Structure 1
Amino acid sequence: MSTDPVVALRQKPHVLLYRDDARRPVAFVPLVPLLRLGLGDRIPPDRPVRLAVALLERPDPTPSDATSFVHLNGNLGVFKIYIFVDDSGPAYQGEHPVREMLEPLLRQLVETVAPGPTDAPPPRWLFEITLLNEGNLVVMTSMPFREDATPARTGTPRPLPLTMRRVGEESPSDPADHVDQAEPEVRSLPTVVLRIRLGQDADNLRALNELIRPAPKVEGAVDVNLDRPRSVPFSIRKATAPELPLLETAGLDLRPRPEDAITVVLRPERYRELSRDLELSFRMEEGGFLGGRVFRVRTGEDRYVVLIEQVLPAKHTGASSVHFTFTGDSFQEMNRELSGGTTRLVGWYHTHLFSSDGAMQLSSVDVQLHHSTFRQPWQVAGLINLTRTERRLRFYAATEDDMETCSLWVTDERAGHGATRLDLGNR
């Protein structure tokens, strides 16, 4: 018998509730009815709907104080929600701060589960959401609430049409929400790594094909551990990187600032492509590779100028409205397109489907991808913040454990001009 409530609740996303920073959850409530209540009039009251829900890696903007509920998935602070009423596409899509949606509802429920003594200070409540991880959409069915035949007493708030249960408490009326009655294990975060299950939902909701593009499955792979004392039918050695040419041979008439480790330069046609002309989806993130040339500013200095000459949209990728995934086939296609020319892989780019501001830049997933995959010190990451009224372009380079913004220039090839300093591009 499982002793972990998260394992027992694996079939549905739930909200687990903790009291006074305890390490064991004391209660839980299914997430779907909470979202249905929080979305209010956006959901038809008498019709079943489908909800496609993801958590975005963004700080929760809801103001908090000492009495606020603490969200333990704190770096995932915003719901991205799509509502489907039929097969014609999303009837609603929007972003909602997690605490703003859940805290008022949880506050009404907690006293029914763990009322505190009247002479003691109020408890500190903490909550976490199971089965939702950054970048993954989960499709769920939401049924209308059953009408409560007992009206609320005059002067008292109407009770919510859902219940929160103590961990270990069994509900015979809803076996789908059953939790084993054994003591739960100590929690560890993150609670569950979600594998998206679309199946019937994808068949019934044609519009989801525009929201989620699963990455192609790998048909075959071989793991080779070079640390194991066994022979393999081939050898692997690190290739020697060719010496980078100096900036003075580039013909760019460019003088990078001394404090800039990497300066990105775009030809006018590449700038127009990225900042205006490249066709990009407003429903799912897109991305690709950047080809070009690299120059060292001065001999012996780790300062570089990256000239971007090719934009290569990636193929064989996976994507949704909140994530983008390269595959091995993506890199093979890119290598074929770059082979035989004078350009090399100088970086990658992808989109974020929300407006640009100073706080929201690359996500932690983006940073991890860059550090693990684009490991040359001069390779850059391009970010395009995309909405229907705005397109903003920025570039980033790796630091020891993070990313920093690069200086961005656009070459002006008119007579008498060299390079022109660029502010963020507006569509």
Structure 2
Amino acid sequence: MNPLLVEMGQQAKKAANLLRKTKTNQKNQALLAMEQALYEQETAILAANATDIENAKEKGLATPMIERLTLSPERIKGMADSIRQIAQLPDPVGQIEEMNTSPDGLLIGKQRVPLGVIGIIYESRPNVTADAAALCFKSGNAVILRGGKEALASNQAILKALQAALVSVNLPKETIQLITDPSRELAGEFMRMNDYLDCLIPRGGAGLIQNVMRNATVPVIETGVGNCHLYVDQTADLAMATRILVNAKCDHPSVCNAIENLLVHAAVAEEFLPVFAEALAPYQVEIRGDEATRAILPSAVPATEADYDTEFLDFILAVKVVSDYDAAIEHIETHSTGHSEIIVTDDYQIAQNFLADIDAAAVYVNASSRFTDGGCFGLGGEIGISTQKLHARGPMGLKELTSYKYIVLGEGQIRGTTGE
């Protein structure tokens, strides 16, 4: 094991042991200090980000990647606001979720406890550095971050501000650490730090997530690739469907809760397809359609089967005309990544069927998938969107970064011989 990782792991374990006993008011004080530190270090953070952007452009990174990388005063304010909101949320650590009396008179309860040391591997979004650090900290966990090399200067500048805030309230700066060596070899070792990491959370595209799932020996919480669908039913309010489609596709196409697939009931395809194409035209969205779609929209590019499995993270939309509701469900079941799925319909029973039929982390009726977000769900922020079913599912906030232990209170009880 690389000596640097061993040292970081040891420091994180020590910090985690202290943090799990740290009172809520001190954690909140530290979070408010982090918020202030981001504003105080805004000039330095933006300067570091400008360096990252310049390097990214020189390397020919795609426009969506550069957009994800870019910080601004507004985005720094968003990071600071998220930290303040996290400070205002209830602390899950120490909460007693259940307390029951056993036949032996024992009081047996479940108490929320931190996971311990969390490792996070993510890509080009420097705001993840602040969001992840704040969520892990409030939930009582130390964290070791490993961001993408394209955001290294930005991440270091943000880390400097956050660590200064910790020190200002007499907490160890090693509570939040950042791996600055971008090598794949070191990343591989990081995924196998079983002696120090209690869990590992990847946050990024399909390649990153699958690499971690294949190579990590540390327990992994899988965050989701978002191959999200919008199905326009034959009873849909088409004006509503258009508004939802434009928001879900074009508001922020490079995020996992943007839709990538549009399914349209054949009964409304002739009317709806030209309307939505016109609405998407200002955004220069490339429409990739099946034969039925192209018959109505000749400008559409022929869709391949692979297109229906692709998280584009760009102004590209795969479109298919389906014969009925069952065909839409079959398509979603075949291609969905279990992130967020939408139906637009005026039929109550169809809406209820969709909620029952679709197995995803978030299922929407007549609303945009862009709401699949920790802030929108009242969690303050999120460490990621989990598409797995064990431990956590959907936006992962404070509670999802904790586990529990049983606490047992007695009055001298002993267990009798059972013959086993």
- TM bin, normalised by shorter chain, reads under 0.3
Taking structure 2 as the reference length, the TM-score comes to 0.21
Greater helix content: 2
Structure richer in strand, relative to its length = 1
Larger RCO (CA under 8 A, 6+ residues apart): 2
